[in-house]
Structures are given as C-alpha cells and as structure tokens.
Amino acid sequence: MIVADKLKRFATGIRNLPYLPFVLNPVDTAAPWSELAPGNYESPLHFVHAVRGAVFPIFSPFRQVPHLPYEVPENRVQIDDNQGWFFLNGICTDRNVLRLNGKALADLFGRKVYLMHNPSDGFALDIFECVLGRTMQLVSTLETSVADILEDALGRYSKVVLIVHSQGGIISTGALYQLRDRLQGSRSLLLNKLEVYSFASAATELDLPQVYAEHFYHTDDFVARIGVAANREKFSGNRFTYRAGGHLLNAHYLENFRAGKFVAIDAEGSRLWSYLHVDGLVEPEVVPA
C-alpha cells in the first residue's frame, strides 16, 4: 500500500511537470516584501546567499527546526491580545527569505510572528521531497520539533495560529498528528485553540477535523497541484483557489490574498481574511461547493 501510494504521488509529479518552470512567474518585484527584489534584503550579500541556497543542494539529515527570533510589524501598531502566531516555510528558503516571509506576514496581520525554519536542501531535492509527499529526514526531527513548539504555545496562549507554506504543509501535517497523539483526554481540548492556514501546501493530506483549517492554492502552481489540489478529499478544513501560477509566498500568494482574489469553494468565507490588518480591502468572492 505504501509503495503504491508513493508510485501514485510520483506519477502525479510527472504528470504536472509542465507547470514546474512557472513556479517563479509572474516575476513580481513590486509586491510588498517580494522575494525576487534584491532591495528587500538587508544587503546584496543576503540576496546572493538566498539564491545560492535555492540552487545548490545541501542535504543535512537529523536537523531540528530552530525557533528563530520573531518579526514584528514595521508600519503599524502591533496587536497584542495573547495570541501566538507561528510560520513554517516551504521550499528553497534560507534564513534571509524566511525573514522576508515573516516581515510580510507581520505587516499584513499586524502581529508578532514567530519563525520556524525548514532548512532547504536546494531546489532539486526540495521538489523531489514534495513529489514523494514527505521530507527526506532520516528521522522525524523536523516534525517533532514543530510539535514541541506548538504544544508549548498551546499551554501559553489563548489562541495559536500556524501559517505554513509549500513543503511546510508536509512537515506541519506530521507535527499536528504527533500533537494529536500527545494530547489525550482533557488535554485534547487544547486543539480547539489551534488554527492552521496553508498556502500552496505540498502535503497529501490533513485529516484533523478538530483543528480549524483553511487551505489556499493557485490552480496552476506545480507544488500545489501535486499536493493539496491533487488530494482535496483528504483535507479537513475549507479550501480557497485562484486561477493563477506562481509559488512564492510573498510575491504571489500573499499579494493575491491581500487583493481578495481567492475564491472559497466550501461555501464559507475565510477566517484568516477577517484577521487582515490593512485598509482598502476588497472582499473575496464566495462560491458554493
């Protein structure tokens, strides 16, 4: 069964290869905190490091997810209401890109955002991991460390919001399953405090109805097409789509989310949308499933 499942995932990846060259399109350097704009990085050297890390494979097993310093809003007053917001990144993301993602999310939602780093193994290996539907860690250190962080946060905050992108969807699924198994009896009620929001999830499932979840993906995004879009019946939570390509979180997904372009296909509006902390928004369209 496991072998058949892997073969099915591999076939899905091969079938969607024509979409792979367009993961960076459109090349939008004007979007807030765009990963494609060198000027958004702290220095030209940081941009060079980000490009190098995406191109050259660096496979390092047995890694844990470091709990990096948080990012806070730069252009608005920070909301402080005892909520813990966390972000787990996707493919081809070094710490410089991770910080850009954190800055974008902090500004968009007016929140302090804690950053959890899924280190990149380079573009080729990251894509291969996504095609297989799992990480290439020899042991589940990434998933376990994310579960540890979330378990601690659920004990400290009134609400915990987890935002994941791309390959972060794979790791977070395993982490959330671990968390579900840990929180037994009355402690399982802690899961009611958790909300999960994925963008372009590369995961092939998330069966956790007790946790509120929303999933956003572009119809022509290669990673989403081999993940959430190819396995929609295996995901609990609400789904939102937009007919577009592009895989980057800041330049593509958050820009389209902020503009209200995602369409709800589960007959419900987006709770994440209600958390936006910017002016001049256009309400997203809601289409019955």
One CATH from 3.40.30.10, 3.40.50.10420, 2.60.40.350, 3.40.50.1820 for 2-274: 3.40.50.1820
Give the predicted TM-score (pTM) of the model.
0.84
- Per-residue pLDDT band for 163 (boundaries 50, 70, 90) equals very high
The mean per-residue pLDDT over the stretch 111-116 comes to: 93
Beta strands at 238-242 and 263-264: parallel, antiparallel or unpaired? antiparallel
Distances (CA, A) of 180 to 21, 45, 117: 37, 42, 22
Q: Which residue has the higher pLDDT, 37 or 151?
A: 151
Among candidate residues 182, 152, 178, 183, the one with its CA nearest the CA of residue 86: 152
pLDDT above 70 covers a percentage of the chain that reads: 73
Look at residue 96 and tell me whether its pLDDT is greater than 70. Answer: yes
Q: Which residue has the higher pLDDT, 110 or 232?
A: 110
The mean per-residue pLDDT over the stretch 97-118 comes to: 90
Radius of gyration of the chain (CA): 18
- Per-residue pLDDT band for 28 (boundaries 50, 70, 90) equals confident
Which position has the token pair 């539907």? 133
Mean pLDDT of the chain: 82
Beta-bridge partners for 201: none
Contacts with 77 (C-beta within 8 Å, 6 or more apart), sequence order:
110
